[in-house]
Amino acid sequence: MPASPRAEAIASYLDELAGQRRLSAHTIASYRRDLAMLDARAGRQRNGFAV
């Protein structure tokens, strides 16, 4: 199954942070977790569920 446009945007953003801004692996992992939670929450709200 192909990644959603939102997942692709998140991956691109994390790649940019790791590559160009040279953030640590721990920082990237933290951003990844936070963005995954935000993505999940946004998906639930978009589908009509109150969060």
Asked if residue 50 belongs to a domain, the reply is no
Render pLDDT for 15-47 as a digit per residue (tens, 0 to 9).
999 999 999 999 999 999 999 999 888 877 665
| Long-range contacts from 33-37, C-beta under 8 angstroms, 24+ separation | 35/10, 36/10
Range of the domain at 37: 11-45
Q: How many domains does the chain have?
A: 1
Asked if residue 40 belongs to a domain, the reply is yes
Q: For residue 44, what are its two tokens?
A: 């639930």
Residue with tokens 């998140």: 10
Whether pTM exceeds 0.85: no
Q: How far apart are CA 50 and CA 45, in angstroms?
A: 6
Asked if residue 51 belongs to a domain, the reply is no
Spatial CB neighbours of 36, under 8 Å, sequence gap ≥ 6: 10
